[in-house]
Amino acid sequence: MKERSQRCRRIGDQLRGEISSMLLRDIKDPRIGFVTVMDVEVSPDLGQATVYFTVYGSDQEKADTLSGLQSTASFMRREMGRRLHLKRIPALHFRYDKTTDKGEHMEEIFGRIKREEEY
């Protein structure tokens, strides 16, 4: 079981690198903002991959980016099939990673506390 999780992690890292590269060079969808691919989790059977991303902007810009990414999933999968030497390229599912938002919120709270202590 441990070997399988290492394999999934390694394949996820490969996919993350390729997706990031495609977003920089190959994808020209105007709905997609400045995206950072945070992580890719691959299922044990290698059939599914969840791509966690962040993007700065309003809720509407985040929703537009998600829509744009979902529309490019089949293109990305086809390209990764050509670029990576894997028997099976997983189906891609995109999810917004709220970790950055939570971190910014925490910084805001700590900043507010610090300002209150200074008074």
State the Cα–Cα distance between residues 41 and 50, nearest whole angstrom: 5
Q: Assign residue 33 the CATH number of its domain.
A: 3.30.300.20
Mean pLDDT within 43-52: 94
| Distance set, CA 91 to CA 47, 58, 65, 80, 114 (Å) | 6, 28, 18, 11, 46
pLDDT digits (tens, 9 = 90+) for 23-39: 999 999 999 988 999 99
Encoding tokens for residue 112?
Answer: 């507010």
- The reported pTM is 0.79
Residue 81, SS3 per DSSP:
helix
Q: How many domains does the chain have?
A: 1
* 63-115 pLDDT, tens digit each: 999 999 999 999 999 999 999 888 889 999 999 998 766 566 567 776 777 77
Distance CA 119, CA 115 (A): 7
Q: Which range of residues forms the domain containing residue 28?
A: 2-118
